[in-house]
Structure 1
Amino acid sequence: MPLQLEIVTPEARIFSGEVDSVVLPGSDGELGILPHHVPLVTTLKPGELVYSQTGKSEYFAVGTGFVEVTGGRVSVLTDMAKGESEIDEKSVEDALKRAQERLESIKHDSATEEVAMVQAMIQKSMAQLHVKRRRKNV
């Protein structure tokens, strides 16, 4: 019995279909989901989401969000989901550099909200580079 996976961002439904398994970056670490998984709701942190479909794996860089597993369904609601082909490595490297420079300039301020926002940008950039570079080396 396959899983029904849906990956949704505020902009679009990124993927909807049957898969054999899903591995994603949950709040407490990497989470593997197979058919008949116990129901759960957890937060999603920036990282790599991998799903397998008839022996072939697909890789996505994902941002923050939520994951709900119920019965044979996995719903991923995230602020970012990009496949390897959608990631422009040079643009992401530039964004990462700008975010790191911004973090250095504000780290002594008491603007913890801004620090958290910049750190989230850095994590999303790192997730995208990880997916892009991993696929280059395969």
Structure 2
Amino acid sequence: MSTFHLKIVTPSGVYAEKDVNILNIRTTGGQMGILAHHLPLASAIEISEMNFVENNQRTFYAIGGGFVYVGNDETTIIANSIESQEEINLARAKQAKERAEKRLQSQDGDVIRAEIALRKALNRIHVKNL
């Protein structure tokens, strides 16, 4: 199976660069699988699970939204945040979930920000438990 270059960038810098067989990601247009020689594409990314296959090994990530650009045999992800399944601290994710739920229940502060924090925490918990 053909490979393509995947580059993941966060506000902190380059997170990873790999040659992968397939990238599965949820954009605002829906779930998609990207293979080598994919048509050019630019799209926003949802807060969601992301995975790719590299050397017949599938790796799962929690991505906190962002943007994906598919070019000529190179795909670039600009992620607001990203954590691999191994990097996720489950206790910390559960604490973040509880804090966000309390903020939403009390209607104290920025409700939209609390909803986003809750979605990110739930996504991290989901990916850790895969």
TM bucket, shorter chain: over 0.9
What's the RMSD between the two structures over aligned residues?
1.4
Percent identity of paired positions between Structure 1 and Structure 2: 26
CA distance in 2, matches of 1:97, 1:12: 29
The one-letter code of the counterpart of 1:103 is L
How far, CA to CA, are the matches of 1:116 and 1:48 in structure 2?
21
TM-score by length of 2: 0.93
Provide Cα deviations, 1:100-120, integer angstroms capped at 9, x if missing partner: 11012228xxx7xx2221111
Q: Once the two structures are superposed, what CA deviation does each residue of 1:52-107 show, in whole Å capped at 9, x if it has no partner?
A: 01211011100011000011111110111101121110111011011011012228
Instruction: Flag the structure with higher helix content.
Output: 1
Tell me the distance in 1 between the aligned counterparts of 2:124 and 2:51: 13
Distance in 2, matches of 1:54 and 1:16, equals: 14
1:30 corresponds to which residue?
Answer: 31
CA distance in 2, matches of 1:37, 1:70: 8
Partner in structure 2 of residue 131 of structure 1: 127
Residue in 2 that maps onto 1:115: 111
| TM-score, with structure 1 as normaliser | 0.88
Q: CA deviation at 1:11?
A: 1.1
Q: Which residue of 2 aligns with 1:95?
A: 96
In the alignment, the residues of structure 2 paired with residue 12 and residue 56 of structure 1 have an alpha-carbon distance, to the nearest angstrom, of: 25
Map of 1:2 onto structure 2 = 3
Q: Secondary structure at the match of 1:87?
A: coil
How many pairs does the alignment contain?
Answer: 129
Whole-angstrom CA distance in 1 between matches of 2:104 and 2:74: 38
Unaligned runs of 5+ in 1: none
Q: Greater share of strand residues, 1 or 2?
A: 2
The equivalent residue for 2:84 is 83
Q: Which range moved further: 114-123 or 47-56?
A: 114-123
